[in-house]
Structure 1
Amino acid sequence: MDMIEKALQIASQAHNGQFRKGTQIPYIAHPIAVGMILMKAGYSDEIVAAGILHDTVEDTDLTIEEIEREFGPKVAEIVAGCSEPNKSLSWEKRKEHTIEFLKTASSDIRAVACADKLHNIKSIIDDYEQNGEAVWSRFKRGKAQQGWYYTNIVESLGNQSTFALLEELKREVSRLFL
C-alpha cells in the first residue's frame, strides 16, 4: 500500500469520532489538509505522511513506536517533533516549548509544523469572517494570546531559513493579528 494512503487510513481510524474545536467538522479534515498543503508544496511522500499523522500521537492512543513500525524512523521523528511532549503543562509552557523547539528543529519538522499552523490560521480566518470576534471564545486563550503564539511561531520557523510555506503563514498571521 502507498505510504500516503496508509497514513490516511491510520490517521482516519485514530481520529475517528473527534471534531475540530467548537465545530461539527470531523477532526480528520485537519490532518488531511496539512498533508495536501505539503503535497502541493512538493514535499516527499514521507513528509506528507508525517503531516497526515502529525496529531495522532498527541491526540489519540497511537504511539511513536507504532508510527515508526508502520512508517519508519524518519516519519516517526517528524511526528514526534510536531507533538507536545507533556500535555500536563500549562498552555503557556507547552507553547513556549514549541516556540523554542522549532528554532532549531530539522527542516522536515519545521515544514510539517508550518503546514499545521498554516491550516489552523486559515481555519481561524474562515471562522472569523463568518462569526467575528466570537471565534475567540472557542480557545482557552483569547485573541491576544493566540496572536502572541502565532507571531512567535512564525519567527521560530524562520530562525534557520525561510521557505514558501513560511511566507504564506507570515501573510496569514499578519492578516489576522496585525
Structure 2
Amino acid sequence: MEMVEKALHIASKAHEGQYRKLTEIPYITHPVAVGMLLMKAGYPDNVVAAGILHDTVEDTSLTLEDIKLNFGEKTAEIVAGCSEPDKSLSWEKRKEHTIEFLKTASKEIRAVACADKLHNIRSIRNDYEQVGEEVWKRFKRGKEKQKWYYTNVVESLGAQGTFALLEELRNEVELLFH
C-alpha cells in the first residue's frame, strides 16, 4: 500500500469516533486536511504521511514505535516533533514548549506543524464567521491566549526563514486576530 494511502487508513481507524472540539465534525477531517495542505505545497510522501498521522500519538492508542514500524524512522521523528511531550503539564507550559521547540525544529517538522496550525486557524475563522465571538467559548483559555499562542507560533516557525505555508498562516492569524 502506498505511504499516503496507508497513513489515511491507519489514521482513520485510530481517530474513529473522535470529533473536532465541540462539533459533530469527525476528527479525521483535520489530519486529512493537514495532509492535503502539505501535498498541495509539494512536500514528499513521508511528510504528507506525517501530517496525516500528526495527532495519532497524542490522541489515540498508536505509539511512535507503531509509526516507525509502518512508515520509517523519519516519519516517526516528524510525528514525534509535532506531539506534545508531556500532556500532564498546564496548557501554558505545553504551548511555551511548542513555541520554543519550533524555533530550531527541522524544516519537515515545521512544515507539518504549520499545516496543522493553518488548518486549525482556518477552522476557527470559519466558525467565527458563523457564530462570532461565541467561538472563543470552545477554548478554555479564550481569545487572548489563542492570539498569544498563534502569534508566537508564527514567529517561531519563521525563525529559520519563511516558506509558503507560513505566509498563509501569518495571513490567517492576522485576519482572525486583528
Q: Shared fold (TM-score greater than 0.5)?
A: yes
In structure 2, the partner of 1:153 is: 153
- Aligned equivalents of 1:141, 1:62: Cα separation in 2: 28
Distance, in Å, in 2 between the alignment partners of 1:104 and 1:76 is 18
- Equivalent residue, structure 1, for 2:38: 38
Q: Does 1:114 align with 2:104?
A: no
Superposed CA offset, 1:52-111 (max 9, x none)? 000000000100000000000000000000000000000000000000000000000000
TM-score by length of 1: 1.00
Q: CA deviation at 1:165?
A: 0.2
Matched residue pairs, number? Answer: 178
| Distance of 1:88 and 1:140 partners within structure 2 | 16
CA distance in 1, matches of 2:140, 2:80: 24
Shift of 1:118: 0.1
- Output the CA distance in 2 between the equivalents of 1:50 and 1:123: 20
Q: Which AA in structure 2 matches 1:177?
A: F
Question: Which residue identity lines up with residue 121 of structure 2 in the other structure?
Answer: I
What are the superposed Cα offsets for residues 94-152 of structure 1, whole Å, 9 maximum, x if unpaired?
00000000000000000000000000000000000000000000111100000000000
SS in 2 for 1:24: coil
Q: Does 1:25 align with 2:25?
A: yes
Structure 2-normalised TM-score? Answer: 1.00
1:9 is aligned to: 9
Q: Which amino acid aligns with 2:84?
A: E
